[in-house]
Amino acid sequence: MYSNLGLVSSVGYAHLVKRVNVEIHSETDPFRHLDKMVRRMRAAREQWDAVRTLFIVVDGSPARHMDWDAIARNAQETAAALTAMFPRVQRLSFGTQAYQPATDRFASCVAAHYAAQLRTLRSDRVIATPPEAVFRGLTAATIIRSIRGDYRLPRIDPAELRRLELEGWPDDHSWAAFSADGDESRDIQFPRLRVLCLSSHQKPTTSWTDESKRKGRLHFPALKVLKVKCGDCVPRVLEHGVFPARIDRVLNKPEIFASTPVTRLEVSTYINLDTMVALIRRLPRLSSLDIRRVDAPRIRSDVSVPEPGADRLVEPISSTLKSVCAAFDCDRKNPEPAVLTLKYLLLALPSLSGISAYDIPGDTMDGFVEDYADQYPHLARLRINFHKRRC
């Protein structure tokens, strides 16, 4: 790194550099090496005005005797020197391999310095900026919370956001960061947001009392892609979100959006047959359904498949659904619940033209189409594919 910087400066090309990668990997004190790099660049700092993208990785394995409090104090000085050399950065990214308080202090200081001018921010580190540091011009933000602790998101003005990805943040730690005054009882507008990805398996740190549920609405009038991966709790975005009439892609908890004309749906959480059928009924324009985990053992008690030739037929589901891809949570010692689920779907969906089934032994369906084709003519044109376990 040092030689590259020295070479660029020595030949007078520093003013042409638009992206700088700073990667420090040290078995002892990474900031000692970072300080050395900054000192070498300091003489030429006026030449780096063209840099718009800054990628930083600072990692080390702290020795037991190391004074990390002192290193954390030095981190603020190092951050000030570094940002002074790159005054016009608009895209900032922090990578990580290990958790260190000093590295988080350094990342927070750098981010706070650029808060007013950044357009994109990605961080695998905790960004603990002071309250007065507000990211006002961000169009894209990805913030990953990889450690536990009482950490909050930095304050972000949502007015310009087009893409937002939050990973690992408890639901009650998220949305206050986007409120102008931190008051979650007021509505929060995301007027330009097109992609929203939320992923967390941590339960909220506060209880969902009646009072805590009285929160403002989250408005996403321009949203095109919504991805939600959560644990047992229903995230606030699904309870209090206001969405446009059409969302191109929805993942997880899709029953919330039953009134929207969704045509393609992916679900990457456990879902039983009862919920799946309800989804198909509520989404009349659905043409493609991808279910990553069908909880076949817990099927509805009233689901049954009549014997071939029986007078009673399976009631058809009114739908335009053409394609289903489903991975079944199938007990290999007792695959019958999963097989029953699949048979029911095949008979109840005459609109289907193809289905791909994962984790169901193909031999359990031998002769099914032939036995039922006379009473269910759509089976004759149906493509059925069986696959092994889906990752």
Residue ranges of domains in the chain:
252-391
- Three-state SS annotation for 67-103: CHHHHHHHHHHHHHHHHHHCCCCCEEEEECCCCCHHH
Block residue for tokens 């007065």: 132
Residue with tokens 């949502």: 158
Q: Which sign does the torsion angle of CA 170, 171, 174, 179 carry? A: negative
DSSP alpha helices (H): ranges in the chain? 2-10, 30-42, 68-85, 101-114, 210-213, 236-240, 273-282, 336-348, 368-372
For the chain, the residue count is 391
The Cα 198–Cα 180 span in angstroms is 21
Alpha-carbon Rg for the chain, nearest whole angstrom, is 27
Label the pairing between strands 354-358 and 383-387. Answer: parallel
Residue 212's beta-bridge partner residues? none
Give the C-alpha distances (Å, rounded to integers) separating 221 from 162, 194, 242, 266.
12, 9, 7, 21
Positive or negative, the CA dihedral 237, 231, 212, 259 is positive
Specify the pTM: 0.65
DSSP 178: G
Residue type, 54: L
Contacts of 59 (CB under 8 A, 6+ apart): 24, 25, 26, 30, 96, 97, 98, 100, 103
Q: Tell me, what amino acid is at 338?
A: A
Q: How many CB atoms lie within 10 A of CB 208?
A: 15
Report which of 177, 233, 187, 175 is spatially closest to residue 208, judged by C-alpha positions.
Answer: 233
Q: Which residue from 123, 126, 134, 181 is spatially nearest to 151, judged by alpha carbons? A: 126
Q: State residue 89's pLDDT score.
A: 96
Return the beta strands (E) in 129-246 as ranges. Answer: 134-135, 140-144, 155-156, 163-167, 188-189, 195-200, 218-219, 225-230, 241-242
Low-confidence stretches of the chain (pLDDT < 70) are 1-12, 27-29, 42-47, 60-72, 96-100, 146-150, 171-173, 201-214, 230-235, 238-239, 245-262, 267-271, 295-302, 330-332, 389-391
CA distances from 170 to 25, 66, 175, 207, 291 (A): 30, 32, 10, 12, 25
Distance between CA atoms of 110 and 113, rounded to whole angstroms?
5
**pLDDT value at residue 99:** 57
The per-residue pLDDT for 274 is: 77
Residue 147 confidence (pLDDT): 64
- CA distances, 308 to each of 119, 267, 300, 362, 370 (Å): 63, 32, 21, 19, 10
CB 129 within 8 A of CB 152: no
Which pLDDT does position 142 carry in this prediction?
A: 94
